Each structure stands twice: as C-alpha cells, then as structure tokens.
C-alpha cells in the first residue's frame, strides 16, 4: 500500500493467466495456474491493478495493428519488417504484433475476479467491491471487442480457466455480434456506475531526464457506458449506442470543451496569415491533451512507466520519432536549426500523404480584427487543419525531406477514450439513426444552448430528437451542455453560427464532388424539387395583363440516404483529423464500411469497395474488398 500506484501496476500486479492463448486452447500440459484468494477488501484494488497491467502489455499492439493498417500512416526506409507486414496486409501468425494472448490474459483475469470476488463486503453501508467488480466486466468486454475486431470469430469463455485441462474444453466462438449479445446485458445492469479511484496526481517516478510523472487513477479505468456504446455501435444498434454515449456524457458532465491551435507554426503558414487575423484565443491549447501530466480531454488512458526499473514501457514514442526514455537533454545543430536529441530521425512510422492531403484541404475560419461583430464578417484562409501542425511537429530537414515527429505519445500515455472521441462516435450513431444534420452539428457548433435556441440548419425532426431521445436540448440538460463547441473548430477555428463559411450545405457539396470524381459524375445526384408558389394571400401570381400564371420555385436537395452517407464520410474525416495515430483508425474504417454495406445505398458491397479504395496506396497483397482479409491470422 505504501508503494506508488504505478509501481503496483508495473511490478506487483499479478497476471494470473500465465500461459499463452495457444497453450490455453491447444496444449496437453496439465499445469496449474496461480489461484489467489479474494477474501480481503484491499484485494479488489490490487487485483484491478493487475488487470490494468495486462492492458499495459496489450496497448502497443492495439495501437500498431490499427494504425499501420489504416490510411493515416506509411512506412519508410527505417520501418521494421513486422510493421511493413501489417501495413501491406501480409502479416502471418509469426508477426510479433499478432498475439491474441495479450487480450486473453486480460480476459482470464477478469473472469477469475468476477467469479470469485465477494461483492457483499461492506464498509459502513457501502459495498466496497462493486466498483472494481464492474470494472472487470467492462475491461473484459473491451478486450473481447478488440479480439473480434482483429480476428473476426474468436474463442469465447466467461468462466475462469485455472488449468490447461479446462482450457482444452473451450470450443465456443463468437464474432462481434455474438460478443455483444453475450456481454452487453450483464454490463448494462451497471450503467452509470462510477469507476474506481485510488487518487489523482500520484507520483510514479522521474523520467531518465529528471521530470516527474504523475497519474490519475480514475483515468486508467474503462467506463461501462462507453464500452456499451462501442459494443452497440460496432453491431449497428445505433439507438442503443447513442443512448449509452449520452448517458456517460450526462452523468459525467463531459463537454466538448474549447480548444485552439494557434496558427504560427511554420514559415509556410506564417506567409499565409492575413493581416487582420486575431491572435486572441479562448479555451486551452489542443496540445494539452497530450501532456504527460494531467492531460485535458482524456477519459481513459494507459500510462506507461518512466523507465524499465519502474515497470512496463512503451515503444510507441520511438516508433513515431521521439526518444522518451533517453537521458540526453542536449540540442545539436543541424543546418540552420537546433534539434533536441529527443527527436529520432530514424523513426519507423510516417504520416501518409492521404492524411497530409486531408489536413491541407481544410480551411481556417476567423473573425477579422476589424470586425465589430461576427455577423457576416467571418473569413476563411487556406491554412489547412491546424491540428496537423500540432500532431506532427516539424524539426529538421534530412536528405531533402522534412522530418516530422509525432507528439501524441511524448508523455508515454496512450489515450483510449477522450471526450472528443465519444462525441464523434455519438455523431456516427445519430447520423445512422437518420439525423445527419444533428450529427453535423457535433462537428460545426456543438450541441449547446445557442444551437437549441437558434437551430439554423436543424430540421424540426432533429430538434425534437435532441429535446427528447438524446436530450441535449431538453430543459433538464440544456444548461449542462451550454458551452459545448464543435469538434472541427479545434483545427479550423470559427466554425460556429450562421456566418461561418463552414456550413452543412457547402461541406456536403464539397464531399459529393469528391465522391463523384472518384466513382463517376452520377454517383450522387441532387434531387430537384419543383413547387408552385402563390402570393401572400394564397392566390396565383398575375402576368402583366392580369391573367393568373403558374410560378414554379425550384430547389435542390439530396436524398436522405445520400446525405447520411456523405455526413458519415465527413465524420470519418474528423476522426482522422482529431484522433490520428491514437490507435483507432483501421477499426473505424472497418466499422464504417460495415455500416455502408448494411445500408446498401450503393450496393451491399459498397463499404468493402470504399475501404479498399482508402487503403489502395498501401499496395496490399490481399483483396480488401473481401472482409475475411481484414482479419489477422489467429494465434
């Protein structure tokens, strides 16, 4: 109890499934696995921290499998063979990042805790074991979800395996749908349960460079409602997904807070800055999200040790070009610039051109310094999305190419859930429920008080939906969410309101043009509506001679199903801009592709073709229009 929480996680958390997944399911060995007693109140904390150590051991693999196979990364001459195999979909069971074992270790520990923890223990009138008991359910469901996303059908069991003979009796397998059906009902019983907490700002040791690291234990936990939301979103139950995401946001007063990226990063950007741009920003710098200590916006993260002596370390900073574990603090001159020794020119993962192109296509919006109000005065400038310049910090040129270091793992923390990611998944769900305008509002304005009183582009149907079904606009919650902002504003500035050039209509037209350029001019066609109009008294208009004439007003709109598909693509773009390299991308692409297949707006295989098109630049060795090729070989 006197050791720091981080050392407990890193050194003292016992992993009770000591065999590999392959051993558990196939070996003839009959050796016993360590079988602890759970009869003390403090056992809950220590056992939970042991489970979280298992999450630490899985997190690098979780990130790399998703990012190397997504459309935001590319290999370079320094990239190791295992990462190259992930990137071009040639990975075999011998790939070091292909290990179901790391997730089954988590699952078996959770199964044991659920089976053996006495939840009736009291401190006063409080059942002290319940928070950790619920965490075991939640983390188990999260781990099974990752397995199904990586491998498809996977061995499934909920009883603890304490001997190899028991392991050999596991024959049931489930896919994502089966896992949701099996685990969600029990998990739903604990909706709203707060996560355990063992303190915040806990010292966990100094880095090799002498900087103290702190962790917040509540942020190491997996909220039940977010895992439920993910289960239902993956399986296409959009209403349930939206319900649980909203429940978490409401119960935790979790806002889409105001963040900014100040546009003064590179010589290229500075040359583009207009004279009337305003340098006064509200809120926090977006870079604070990735601070080593007290990171903003983070709900769940996996903090890694400051060095090998203190516990489990991560390879992610190094792979992306940052030496977190060095004891060097010097700066070396390279050309005309001084570069910290922390920055590794021999990084193994680069940002893809598709990511850079997506960021560069965005505009930055601002109210000029000469404007009295924003009414009609919001301007745009071609700066690109500024999150790209924070995410990829430019340091030096080497061999005629710009060296970028990806900053998100500079604190050796790996985010799993952020407020922004929850709002974007909520947008994905409510868009597929048939409310694309409400989904776009999460990007543009935020679901806030101002939008509830001046709904602009929101239909009456969507306004009612936001008052009742997902009640951001209800009298009970409108004040709670009064200050939400649009996620796109984090990189593009002034996106809110009627006077920003960033509008639903213009963004839809831009995306339609992009899709038509790829799939043909008639892929998405506008709908022309002709309607006869009358004067204020309801009478026909008259010609110069006083004869009644028919006046037809023509409007252009989009089919609802086309609008849903296009807004889904805008949300997919926002995932890339906001969450790039954090470990979500390939899973996001696969899920959205399945949505598109299920909707069958452009054919039952459109999602497969859409995903294959996004990843074509990687020159995959398999046909990605075949869903079976999305999965890694199970071992």
Grouped pLDDT means (10 residues each) for the chain, 635 residues? 33 33 31 51 83 97 99 97 99 97 96 84 69 97 99 96 82 96 98 96 93 97 99 99 99 97 79 85 93 98 96 96 85 53 86 97 94 82 94 64 79 98 99 99 98 97 99 99 98 96 97 96 88 83 82 80 99 99 99 99 98 98 99 91
> Quick one: CA torsion of 474, 479, 483, 485, rounded to 10 degrees?
-10
Give the per-residue SS3 of 164-225.
HHHHCCCCCEECHHHHHHHHHHHHHCCCCCCCCCCCCCEEEEECCCCCEEEECHHHHCCCHH
Residues in a beta bridge with 303: 413
- Going by C-alpha positions, the residue among 483, 281, 256 that lies closest to residue 364 is 281
114 near 597, Cβ under 8 Å?
no
Residue 56: CA count within 13 A, CB half-sphere: 25
Element (H, E) at 229: helix 224-234
Question: How many angstroms separate the Cα of 495 from the Cα of each of 145, 419, 457, 463?
Answer: 35, 19, 14, 20
Angle at 58 between CA 57 and CA 60, to 5 degrees: 95
Tokens of 191: 């909706």
Q: What ranges do the domains of the chain cover?
A: 5-251, 259-414, 503-558
541 near 534, Cβ under 8 Å?
yes
Phi, psi of 184 (to 5 degrees): -65, -40
> For the chain, how big is the Rg over CA atoms in Å?
26
- Going by C-alpha positions, the residue among 225, 247, 227, 51 that lies closest to residue 132 is 51
- Going by C-alpha positions, the residue among 570, 486, 568 that lies closest to residue 238 is 568
Helix (H) and strand (E) counts in the chain: 23, 22
- Who's near 341: CB < 8 A, 6+ residues apart? 323, 326, 328, 329, 330, 331, 332
What pLDDT, on the 0 to 100 scale, is given for residue 394?
67
* Overall CATH class of domain 5-251: mainly alpha
**Cα(494)–Cα(509) distance, integer angstroms:** 20
- Global confidence as pTM: 0.91
**Cα(522)–Cα(416) distance, integer angstroms:** 40
What pLDDT, on the 0 to 100 scale, is given for residue 340?
65
Angle at 26 between CA 23 and CA 28, to 5 degrees: 85
């Amino acid at each position: 109890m006197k050791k720091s929480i981080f050392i407990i996680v890193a050194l003292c958390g016992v992993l009770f499934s000591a065999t590999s997944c392959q051993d558990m399911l196939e070996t003839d060995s009959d050796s016993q696995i360590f079988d602890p007693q759970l009869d003390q109140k403090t056992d809950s904390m220590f056992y939970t921290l042991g489970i979280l150590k298992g999450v630490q051991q899985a997190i690098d693999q979780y990130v790399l499998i998703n990012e190397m196979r997504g459309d935001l990364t590319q290999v370079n001459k320094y990239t190791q063979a295992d990462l190259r195999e992930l990137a071009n979909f040639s990975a075999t069971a011998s790939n070091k990042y292909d290990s179901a074992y790391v997730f089954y270790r988590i699952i078996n520990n959770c199964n044991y805790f659920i089976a053996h923890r006495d939840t009736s223990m009291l401190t006063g009138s409080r059942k002290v074991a319940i928070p950790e008991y619920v965490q075991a359910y939640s983390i188990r469901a999260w781990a099974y979800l990752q397995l199904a996303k990586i491998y498809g059908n996977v061995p499934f069991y909920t009883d603890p395996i304490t001997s190899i003979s028991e392991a050999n009796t596991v024959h049931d397998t489930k896919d994502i749908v089966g896992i949701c059906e099996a685990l969600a009902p029990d998990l739903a019983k604990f909706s709203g349960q707060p996560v355990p907490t063992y303190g915040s700002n806990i010292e966990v040791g100094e880095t090799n460079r002498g900087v103290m690291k702190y962790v917040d234990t509540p942020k190491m936990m997996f909220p039940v409602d977010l895992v439920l939301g993910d289960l239902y979103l993956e399986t296409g139950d959009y209403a349930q997904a939206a319900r649980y995401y909203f429940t978490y946001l409401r119960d935790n007063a979790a806002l889409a807070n105001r963040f900014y990226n100040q546009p003064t990063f590179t010589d290229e950007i500075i040359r583009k800055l207009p004279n009337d741009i305003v340098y006064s920003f509200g809120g926090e710098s977006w870079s604070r999200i990735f601070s080593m200590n007290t990171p903003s916006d983070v709900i769940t993260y996996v903090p890694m040790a400051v060095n090998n002596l203190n516990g489990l370390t991560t390879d992610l900073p190094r792979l992306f070009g940052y030496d977190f574990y060095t004891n060097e603090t010097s700066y070396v001159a390279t050309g005309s610039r001084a570069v910290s020794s922390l920055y590794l020119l021999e990084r193994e993962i680069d940002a893809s051109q598709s990511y850079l192109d997506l960021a560069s296509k965005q505009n930055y919006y601002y109210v000029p310094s000469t404007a009295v109000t924003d009414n009609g005065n919001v301007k745009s400038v071609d700066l690109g999305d500024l999150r790209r310049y924070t995410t990829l910090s430019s340091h030096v040129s080497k061999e005629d190419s710009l060296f970028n270091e990806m900053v998100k793992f500079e604190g050796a923390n790996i985010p799993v859930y952020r407020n922004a990611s929850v709002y974007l998944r909520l947008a994905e769900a409510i868009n597929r429920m048939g409310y694309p305008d409400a989904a776009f509002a999460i990007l543009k304005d935020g679901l806030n008080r101002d939008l509830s009183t001046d709904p602009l582009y929101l239909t009456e149907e969507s306004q009612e939906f936001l008052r009742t079904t997902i009640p951001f606009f209800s009298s009970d919650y409108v004040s709670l969410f009064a200050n939400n902002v649009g996620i796109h504003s984090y990189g593009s500035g002034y996106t809110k309101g009627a006077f920003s050039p960033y509008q639903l209509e213009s963004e839809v037209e831009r995306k339609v043009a992009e899709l038509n350029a790829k799939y043909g001019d008639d892929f998405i066609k506008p709908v022309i509506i002709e309607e006869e109009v009358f004067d204020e008294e309801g009478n026909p208009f008259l010609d110069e001679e006083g004869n009644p004439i028919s006046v037809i007003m023509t409007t252009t709109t989009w089919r609802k199903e086309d609008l849903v598909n296009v807004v889904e693509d805008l949300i997919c773009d926002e995932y890339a801009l906001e969450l790039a390299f954090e470990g979500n991308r390939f899973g996001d692409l696969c899920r959205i592709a399945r949505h598109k297949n299920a909707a069958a707006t452009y054919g039952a295989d459109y999602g497969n073709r859409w995903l294959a098109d996004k990843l074509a630049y990687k020159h995959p060795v398999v046909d990605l229009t075949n869903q079976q090729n999305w999965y890694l070989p199970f071992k």
